[in-house]
């Protein structure tokens, strides 16, 4: 469904922050993306959500080469991707409800459908009470949950989450992870960038690891594999 072949990325005239990245993601895959700070996790995410085009190599999303795709085709690809940004990127003048509703509105869904879906998902992330609040009066963790709700509300085919549980306490963090797993079982491909070793030990998923711009694909951690075996 997604394939990278010898992909490189550099920002402007800077050094290559990603080099020679080659991997594929099948429909329904669930991967962690880990690596030290500055290794290029967010940069790889950018390539995946078409926030950047590769400076070399071939990136194919849903079977389409992103470089040769037309502007409209790229927009269609992006509509199938849900992203939780590392810095959330909520629209500050929109309420929690309207922020979460945004992807559905972009897809042109009907108002009553939007209302029901958004309420349901806000309940899921435990923020029904804060539905009408502006992001500025929400805590970091609450904002993060809004960002997560917005990323999943459109039932994307690919969900990308950059440190989605970074600001959350363990209980909510695990709950969010279960939500992701539930989505994954329904067919959504998921990539989660994280530093959280406990999380990777708890959930049995293969890891994409980045180091100085180079990618390696590793199996789930031993602990996670053991947990799964029991």
Partner 1 sequence: MARKRIWELLPDTQDSGTRFVMLVVVMMTFLATLAVGGALVVSALRATWVDAVEGHITIEIPASDGAGVIRNADTLSDNARGIANAVGSLAGIKSVHVLSRVDIKNLVKPWMGEAAGTEDMPLPALMGVTLRDPDDTGALEAITKAAKALDAAAIVEAHQSWISDLRRFSLVLLLAACAMAFVTIACCIVAVTGAVAARLSEHHADIDLLHLMGATDDYIGGQFVQSVVRSVGGAALAGTVIGLVLLKAGALIAGNIQTAMLPQAGFGFADYVAFAGLPALVTGLCFAAARFTVLRSLRQMP
Ligand X SMILES: Nc1ncnc2c1ncn2[C@@H]1O[C@H](COP(=O)(O)OP(=O)(O)OP(=O)(O)O)[C@@H](O)[C@H]1O
The SS3 of residue 82 is strand
Residues that bind ligand X (CB under 6 A): 11, 14, 17, 35, 37-43, 86
40 binds, among ligand X, partner 1, Mg ion, none (CB under 5 to 8 A by kind): ligand X
Helix or strand run (H / E) with residue 20: strand 16-25
Does the protein bind partner 1 through residue 79 (CB under 8 A)? Answer: yes
Based on C-alpha coordinates, what's the Rg of the chain? 17
Q: Which does 37 bind (CB under 5 to 8 A by kind): ligand X, partner 1, Mg ion, none?
A: ligand X
CB atoms within 10 A of CB 185: 10
Binding status of residue 77 toward partner 1 by CB under 8 A: yes
* Inter-CA distances, 204 with 31, 196, 214, Å: 9, 14, 23
Q: What count of Cα atoms within 13 Å lies in the side-chain half-sphere of residue 127? A: 31
Least separation, in Å, of the C-beta of 174 and partner 1? Answer: 27
Choose which of 67, 76, 216, 218 interacts with partner 1 (CB under 8 A). Answer: 76
User: Exactly one of 10, 60, 78, 223 binds partner 1 (CB under 8 A); which one?
Assistant: 78
* Stretch in the footprint of partner 1 (CB under 8 A) among 57-65, 75-83, 183-191, 220-228: 75-83
Do 83 and 160 touch, CB atoms closer than 8 A?
yes
Residues forming contacts to Mg ion in the complex (CB under 5 A) are 41-42, 86
102 in contact with partner 1 (CB under 8 A): yes
Q: Does 212 bind partner 1 (CB under 8 A)?
A: no
The reply to whether 93 sits near partner 1 by the rule CB under 8 A is: yes
- Residue 216 binds which one of ligand X, Mg ion, partner 1, none, with CB within 5 to 8 A depending on kind? none
3-state secondary structure of 6: strand
Residue partners of 98: CB distance under 8 A and separation at least 6: 91
Please work out the total of residues on this chain that contact partner 1, with binding judged by CB under 8 A: 23
Q: What angle do CA 155, 180, 74 make, to 5 degrees?
A: 40
Q: In what order do the strands lie in the sheet with 64-65?
A: 16-25, 2-10, 56-61, 64-65
Q: Which residues bind partner 1 (CB under 8 A)?
A: 49-51, 71-72, 75-81, 83, 89, 91, 93-94, 98, 102-103, 105-107
């Amino acid at each position: 469904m997604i394939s990278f072949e010898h992909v490189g990325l550099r920002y402007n005239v800077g050094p290559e922050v990603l080099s020679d990245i080659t991997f594929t993601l099948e429909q329904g895959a669930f991967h962690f993306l880990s690596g030290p700070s500055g290794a290029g996790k967010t940069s790889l995410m950018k390539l995946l959500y078409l926030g950047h085009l590769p400076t070399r190599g071939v990136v194919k999303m849903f079977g389409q080469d992103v470089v040769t795709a037309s502007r409209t085709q790229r927009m269609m690809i992006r509509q199938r991707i849900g992203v939780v940004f590392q810095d959330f990127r909520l629209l500050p003048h929109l309420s929690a409800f309207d922020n979460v509703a945004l992807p559905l509105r972009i897809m042109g869904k009907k108002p009553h459908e939007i209302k029901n879906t958004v309420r349901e998902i806000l309940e899921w992330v435990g923020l029904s009470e804060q539905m009408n609040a502006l992001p500025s009066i929400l805590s970091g963790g609450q904002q993060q949950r809004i960002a997560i709700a917005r990323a999943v509300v459109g039932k994307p085919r690919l969900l990308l989450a950059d440190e989605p549980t970074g600001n959350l306490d363990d209980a909510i963090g695990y709950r969010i992870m279960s939500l992701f797993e539930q989505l994954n079982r329904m067919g959504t491909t998921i990539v989660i960038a994280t530093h959280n070793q406990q999380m990777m030990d708890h959930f049995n998923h293969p890891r994409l690891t980045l180091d100085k711009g180079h990618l390696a694909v590793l199996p789930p951690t031993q602990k996670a594999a053991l947990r799964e075996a029991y």
